[in-house]
Amino acid sequence: DTAVSQTPKYLVTQMGNDKSIKCEQNLGHDTMYWYKQDSKKFLKIMFSYNNKELIINETVPNRFSPKSPDKAHLNLHINSLELGDSAVYFCASSQVWGYEAFFGQGTRLTVV
Amino acid sequence: SQQGEEDPQALSIQEGENATMNCSYKTSINNLQWYRQNSGRGLVHLILIRSNEREKHSGRLRVTLDTSKKSSSLLITASRAADTASYFCATVPDGTGNQFYFGTGTSLTVIP
């Protein structure tokens, strides 16, 4: 069974569109994260959720909105997509905030 | 910036040789972790070292931490072709709510 799963794996869309990426973890973890990895492989934290409550939003534009219907899911909704949003987005979870994180396979978003 | 920096950016070695990667960071930390990322995949946790520890081992991996120099190193002994991947250090600074900050990564190629 996949521990942290993201869908879709690939997403190609036009500028200005709205899209969502879904993430689910079956590890029973209380903390979930979203990361953005750019073309140079730099990973930047976007959001952290601890037991469904947003902990930190690292200066991400408000076009990005995380939604957590329950502690096993943390979805990422992006409005008015821009070319600069093209990247690989990773969802992750950890049992204890700041300790071993389990990552999903990533969603490669391409905005054209 | 709170991110770490890995050195070297890229490393190419022959199978059977040892590989050493270094990570430097800027702030005091709660813990430091190393992750591996195979091409097109998510990150996999390798090892965690706490700020009061100086060395940890896991199989062929050896991690050291020098908090006075704000640096860590990852040694992979007797490398294999399957070790080819990018390696990232992640720091969890003190006083930031236990947030992960990833370094820039080292791309390791092990030649069979």
CATH (domain of B39): 2.60.40.10
Q: Which of A45, A99, A106 sits opposite B101 (nearest CB)?
A: A45
> In the predicted model, what is the mean pLDDT of residues B11-24?
97
Element housing B49 (H / E): strand B43-50
Q: Is the pLDDT of residue B1 over 60?
A: no
Q: Tell me if A45 and B31 make a contact (CB, 8 A cut-off).
A: no
**In whole numbers, what is the pLDDT of chain A averaged over residues?**
92
Q: What is the pLDDT of residues B49-97, one digit of tens each?
A: 999 999 999 999 999 999 999 999 999 999 999 999 999 999 998 876 6
Written as six digits, the tokens of B94 are 């003190």
- Number of domains, chain B: 1
Say what the pLDDT of residue A20 is.
Answer: 98
Owning domain of residue B102? 5-111
Q: Tell me if A42 and B101 make a contact (CB, 8 A cut-off).
A: no
Q: Is the pLDDT of residue B109 over 70?
A: yes
> In the predicted model, what is the mean pLDDT of residues B24-36?
94
Residues 6+ apart with CB under 8 A from A28: A72, A95
> In the predicted model, what is the mean pLDDT of residues B27-56?
95
Say what the pLDDT of residue B96 is.
Answer: 61
Say what the pLDDT of residue A5 is.
Answer: 96
Residues 6+ apart with CB under 8 A from B96: B2
Say what the pLDDT of residue A1 is.
Answer: 66
Range name among A32-36, A85-89, A95-99, B107-111 with the lowest pLDDT average? A95-99
Q: Is the pLDDT of residue A89 over 60?
A: yes
Say what the pLDDT of residue A27 is.
Answer: 95
User: Could you give all domains of chain A from N- to C-terminal order, each with its CATH number?
Assistant: 4-111 (2.60.40.10)
Q: Is the pLDDT of residue A71 over 90?
A: no
Q: Which residue in B1, B99, B106, B108 has the most chain A C-beta atoms within 10 A of its own C-beta, making it the best mutation to test that interface?
A: B99
**In whole numbers, what is the pLDDT of chain B averaged over residues?**
93
Q: Which of B33, B92, B97 sits opposite A56 (nearest CB)?
A: B97
Alpha-carbon gap, residue B35 to A12, rounded angstroms:
28
